[in-house]
Structure 1
């Protein structure tokens, strides 16, 4: 007779059973295998995910320096636009990375996919930090930057789905929502560290030093951080859900499996469209908008963003815990509908002061966190083990590229196309996407406590 679901979940979280004689309780220097395995799982997953988000953040932060160093100085405006275009290329590469590393995660292993992803991303960061200037290499400098960003885009397209799948499979079923909140917590740590590092470098280095070598430091550090995460992931165990799954030759065709789960793929798209846009707006771009459009003091606006993201990090685990108690669907609806209802009041509050920005961002991010905390678990609970990584990776990467990658362009474009009505029009666009996500939630089966076995 098979073990109860709760027992199987406990065994899965505990890792392999040791055959050694048990040590006496309280013996000094004795580590619990379960606790050691849990520590490796959480730290390895968090470190790699933080590096990915850090890499993405520092490119945006130091884009103006990259443009001056790696592109022709004869046309600064074109150089900056080319730098941003290469940033967008990283988004375009994500769906391809989602397919490649999703396939690897479902055929070779979640651990292998995650390890290669963080290694490739760190090599891209190192390459950017070491790329010769345009003056030294000419157009070759721009080409090296493009190749590095393509590599990072591929890696980032596979990193998040692989990490989400692995973490959800390793988590005890009754606490999967709580564990899944680690994805956005660690990602936000990466963004905040990159932002604060930029502020520190700008403070201690002169503008000339920043332009010549200071902008390279974050990328070189990103390569070093990625190497550490790579080594940490080598020590992680593969999830038991994957290792106990039916062997690949006994499964039906790979693409046939995907085709049979097209409804789940559409649910990933529906769940993601609202979250990715509203998070980008309120978690990433609002401080820049406040500085450039509302002329709020730059220092105050940036610190308001830091405080709001700290609030975001603090509430993520709380929403995860709540979903483990009352279910995924109620928490997702609270997050989506709450974000939609608060969008315009939060926008109207921000006028001319940094404190207004901090309050608005914090309030919005509290509701955004409800969805962000648990979608990694929800995605994993949609698919069987055999296609769990790629089933999430492809639709997720497409949505992030199509909606997250265009959010900044549309936010600025709506202002140009509709004049003073632009912000309102963009707000309506965002709210409609949030409502589409909420509608998707109503079609979602409740999956709290579901066992992710090797089926």
Structure 2
């Protein structure tokens, strides 16, 4: 891995408008997570509308497979849209990713059910998920790099943490809408048409999000670069730095797995596995999102003070040794209180780790392919680990008959994060030493 240039600490955005710039750039993240959470939360209803089967398990697995299929498009989006953003600029690229994301959201909200149009219904839902996945492949990287490039000196971790923090606002809003619908509508009404209401709300806020994105300024760090590589150059550099990309994927495995376990999968886990009420599952999810929102900037700020590596290692070790025991304790006597305690513990993992990880990933990527490299690493982790966490968890519980089995998957992801942290920072130290000796 070649030594990377430091990310510029200045930006075209004035200090007095930095908070507004953070809001504008993270607006697309809000839409992405709002819709992704809704798909996971209403998975049981979506499975009956679009994937009818005589087996509830089969229908649910098909739904989660389509949910996961969107994540398989992320690496393609990371490569092609990420290269586009590295070439034309952060502002223009992020408007394009929002456009594609919005198209997928509108499609999923409006598709008639299987009973009306047959196999075309699940095919169109799949297309919507593929569009969302393609867009999301570069969205996270573009937003994270923008925040890193506009950060003030010594606060990069704090600034980049707002990429994920914006997603928690989306989850709180989606969970609150779901809770309200659960109070106002019957289960039959929600299953028939009520589940579409939050998706239509997501469609309604798209124009507002476009307005925010269009007012973004380009980062000074990008404008200051003398050379903006063409797509072929970017692809070549990604190939030359494949070890860094794979290391970044493993580093991100911990955060993507934890996130999708405690947000997207939680409502289904609470209802279908633990047999808790829908209201309890929604309330836990809402409180977990609030907890994430609190811990993320704390994790970023702590990593600014003590360094990324110590925090990443400490949280990885905690997760490896406590994930399964915590879920076993919950499965032994399921209750709202126990579920809340366990998922708040996992929320602490996610917030502290991710707060350090996002900044770390922007720092290890070569500057010329910062968006494409970050996006590809994150997308591969989401495709291989996070995106399929609901499906893997459902499968593990089915074959082991152990309700705590998702803990094995989370511990494995944490082990990947631990190994990646050690490997990436060893390579970075070695590269820095080589550069210093040759200077």
For normalisation by structure 1, the TM-score amounts to 0.83
3-state SS in 2 of match to 1:39: helix
The aligned residue for residue 371 of structure 1 is: 353
RMSD: 2.9
Please list, as runs of the form range in 1=range in 2, the aligned pairs for 1:57-96 lying within 5 A after superposition: 57-70=37-50, 82-96=62-76
Please list, as runs of the form range in 1=range in 2, the aligned pairs for 1:49-448 lying within 5 A after superposition: 49-70=29-50, 82-207=62-187, 209-248=189-228, 253-350=233-330, 351-420=333-402, 423=404, 426-445=406-425
Query: What is the CA–CA distance in structure 2 between the aligned matches of 1:6 and 1:413, rounded to whole Å?
Result: 43
Match of 1:13 among 4, 11, 15: 11
| Offset at residue 381 of structure 1 (A) | 0.8
* Corresponding position: 1:34 with 2:15: yes
Structure 2 CA distance for partners of 1:287 and 1:381, relative to 1, 3 Å: same
| Offset at residue 136 of structure 1 (A) | 4.5
Structure 2 CA distance for partners of 1:65 and 1:331, relative to 1, 3 Å: same
Structure 2 CA distance for partners of 1:265 and 1:75, relative to 1, 3 Å: same
Query: What is the CA–CA distance in structure 2 between the aligned matches of 1:200 and 1:107, rounded to whole Å?
Result: 44
Higher relative contact order, chain-length normalized (CA < 8 Å, sep 6+): 2
Structure 2 CA distance for partners of 1:106 and 1:288, relative to 1, 3 Å: same
| Offset at residue 45 of structure 1 (A) | 2.1
| Offset at residue 373 of structure 1 (A) | 1.3
What is the aligned length? Answer: 421
CA contact 1:335–1:367 (8 Å) conserved in 2: yes
| Offset at residue 322 of structure 1 (A) | 1.1
CA contact 1:332–1:441 (8 Å) conserved in 2: yes
Structure 2 CA distance for partners of 1:356 and 1:35, relative to 1, 3 Å: same
CA contact 1:309–1:362 (8 Å) conserved in 2: no
For normalisation by structure 2, the TM-score amounts to 0.86
3-state SS in 1 of match to 2:388: helix
CA contact 2:44–2:268 (8 Å) conserved in 1: no
The aligned residue for residue 436 of structure 2 is: none
CA contact 2:86–2:372 (8 Å) conserved in 1: yes
CA contact 2:41–2:268 (8 Å) conserved in 1: no
| Offset at residue 49 of structure 1 (A) | 0.6
| Offset at residue 169 of structure 1 (A) | 1.2
Gaps of 5+ in 2: 433-439
CA contact 1:122–1:224 (8 Å) conserved in 2: no
1:9-64: per-residue Cα shift (whole Å, max 9, x none)? 2xx2353xxxxxxxxxxxxxxxxx4312x133211122211110011011222334
3-state SS in 2 of match to 1:172: coil
CA contact 1:346–1:364 (8 Å) conserved in 2: no
Query: What is the CA–CA distance in structure 2 between the aligned matches of 1:79 and 1:415, rounded to whole Å?
Result: 16
| Offset at residue 67 of structure 1 (A) | 4.3
CA contact 2:296–2:355 (8 Å) conserved in 1: yes
| Offset at residue 280 of structure 1 (A) | 2.6
| Offset at residue 7 of structure 1 (A) | 12
Gaps of 5+ in 1: 16-32, 451-455
3-state SS in 1 of match to 2:155: helix
3-state SS in 1 of match to 2:218: coil
Query: What is the CA–CA distance in structure 2 between the aligned matches of 1:423 and 1:207, rounded to whole Å?
Result: 28
The structure number with the bigger radius of gyration is 1
Structure 2 CA distance for partners of 1:113 and 1:366, relative to 1, 3 Å: same
1:119-139: per-residue Cα shift (whole Å, max 9, x none)? 211122122222244455443
| Offset at residue 279 of structure 1 (A) | 3.0
CA contact 2:182–2:279 (8 Å) conserved in 1: no
3-state SS in 1 of match to 2:265: helix
Query: What is the CA–CA distance in structure 2 between the aligned matches of 1:444 and 1:414, rounded to whole Å?
Result: 31
Structure 2 CA distance for partners of 1:414 and 1:145, relative to 1, 3 Å: closer
